[in-house]
């Protein structure tokens, strides 16, 4: 897009009641629409057929392509969104990547360094930290803990993961697809889940914790002796 066409698109948004904090660093394609009351921060790119609703907040350094954003959505700093839909009152980022096929319902939170791909996420569900959600369907009011991974690729084909409503997925969980977690399931921290889990169940892996008292002092003693 030429500089003049970009400036024309920016002026069009401003005339529609959109606030651009730095128009000179905002890039808007001709087919993009943005609702009144939305505030767009610096260095934002709105590409393709992107649609942004009313009263949204885009903090800045965002790159949106063919994205559909509902009303009152907060896109925190440095998010990349392509071929995805986001419901009303959702919060995304910072540093989140929503890949094609992602569909988020209202009030979903996708946080720091979370990546989604073909992820359908129900209302009020949260995945706030360091998570990969690929080829997954998640119900309502579920919480996905930090470090969770849906292992969707077996080296030959992609497989789906299904997570029900009100599920609590503990941090550092690995879900090996294809796998289904029923409603109200609790997944203990650092679990690897390879089989379907019925509704209301707790799933965990047996791991014995071992403590060796005095190990650090003995290790340092050996290290010093070796240097001598």
Whole-number Å distance between alpha carbons of 173 and 203: 11
Whole-number Å distance between alpha carbons of 33 and 78: 20
Whole-number Å distance between alpha carbons of 104 and 171: 21
Question: Which tokens go with 183?
Answer: 């409603």
Whole-number Å distance between alpha carbons of 35 and 58: 12
- DSSP H helical ranges for the chain: 3-15, 215-227
Show which residues are catalytic.
129
Whole-number Å distance between alpha carbons of 226 and 11: 71
The residue whose two tokens read 């808007």 is 28
Whole-number Å distance between alpha carbons of 128 and 172: 13
Whole-number Å distance between alpha carbons of 178 and 18: 44
């Amino acid at each position: 897009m030429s500089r003049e066409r970009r400036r024309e698109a920016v002026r069009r948004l401003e005339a529609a009641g959109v606030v651009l904090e730095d128009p000179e660093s905002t890039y808007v394609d001709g087919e993009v629409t943005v609702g009144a009351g939305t505030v767009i921060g610096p260095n934002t790119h709105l590409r393709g057929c992107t649609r942004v609703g009313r009263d949204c907040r885009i903090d800045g350094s965002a790159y949106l392509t063919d994205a559909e954003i509902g009303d009152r959505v907060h896109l925190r700093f440095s998010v990349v969104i392509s071929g995805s839909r986001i419901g009303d009152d959702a919060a995304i980022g910072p540093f989140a990547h929503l890949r094609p096929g992602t569909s988020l319902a209202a009030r979903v939170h996708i946080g720091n360094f979370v990546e989604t791909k073909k992820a359908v996420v129900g209302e009020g569900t949260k995945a706030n930290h360091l998570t990969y959600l690929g080829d997954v369907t998640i119900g309502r009011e579920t919480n996905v803990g930090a470090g969770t991974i849906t292992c969707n690729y077996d080296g030959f084909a992609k497989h789906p993961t299904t997570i029900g409503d009100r599920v609590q997925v503990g941090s550092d969980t690995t879900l090996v697809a294809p796998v289904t977690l029923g409603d109200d399931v609790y997944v203990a921290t650092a679990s690897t889940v390879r089989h379907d889990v019925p509704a209301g169940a707790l799933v965990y892996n047996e791991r014995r914790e071992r403590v060796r008292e005095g190990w650090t002092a003995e290790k340092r003693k050996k290290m010093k002796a070796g240097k001598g």
